[in-house]
Homo-oligomer: A and B are copies of this chain.
Amino acid sequence: MSDIEIRRATADDIPAIVALLADDELGALRETPDDLTPYRTAFDRLAKDPNQYVAVAVREGQVIGTLQLTIIPGLSRRGATRSIIEGVRIHADARGSGLGTELIEWAIATSRTEGCRLVQLTSDAVRVDAHRFYERLGFEASHLGFKYQL
């Protein structure tokens, strides 16, 4: 996997990221890769926030993976900073290649550099394969994740 670069995304990566978000059993219902306007607006806001990392994994000039890492300072646990991983997606051609592990390990290493004490994520209860993947990487499924749609 040494030919893969993981880096912060630029605006030029938006079409490829949205294609990845949409190429997913749940994302297919939620995303509009034919209309990038809302994604560009959101990216502008993300790019200005130093606590936000939109990461892409690139191989031979092609974006084959993405995730969002948010750094969250806090008071609890003696003022511990934590991070949250969202929107992990791997290109269909790269699934099973170890790229997911590489991306999550990048997020963990970045969290460590940022002084985080804890890395968190939630995974939809239906994504059973994802649960096994995160447990293999050392995550503990200690919590329930609640969502409220506005």
Binding site for B on A (CB under 8 A): 14, 17-18, 21, 27, 30-32, 38-43, 45-46, 49, 51-52, 54, 68, 70, 72-81, 84, 86-87, 108, 111-112, 116-125, 131, 134-135, 137-150
Distance of A46 Cα from B131 Cα, bound (Å): 31
Assess the B30–A46 pair: CB atoms within 8 A. Answer: no
Nearest CB in chain B to that of A77: its residue: B30
A144 interface neighbour in B41, B70, B144, B148, Cβ under 8 Å:
B144
Assess the A76–B30 pair: CB atoms within 8 A. Answer: yes
A73 interface neighbour in B42, B72, B77, Cβ under 8 Å:
B42
| 4 pairs of A and B residues whose beta carbons are closest in the complex | A143-B145, A42-B79, A38-B79, A139-B146
Nearest CB in chain B to that of A70: its residue: B72
Q: Can you identify 8 A-B contacts, CB atoms within 8 angstroms?
A: A70-B70, A120-B147, A120-B148, A122-B143, A124-B143, A131-B146, A143-B147, A145-B145
Knowing A146-B121, A147-B142, A148-B137 are in contact, say whether A68-B75 is a contact too (CB < 8 A). Answer: yes
Tell me whether chain A's interface is mostly helix, strand or loop, or mixed.
Answer: mixed
Assembly of this chain: how many copies? 2
Distance of A54 Cα from B75 Cα, bound (Å): 9
Assess the B119–A148 pair: CB atoms within 8 A. Answer: yes
In the bound complex, residues from chain B placing their C-beta under 8 Å from that of A51 are: 49, 51
Assess the B49–A74 pair: CB atoms within 8 A. Answer: no
Knowing A86-B74, A142-B124, A145-B143 are in contact, say whether A119-B79 is a contact too (CB < 8 A). Answer: no
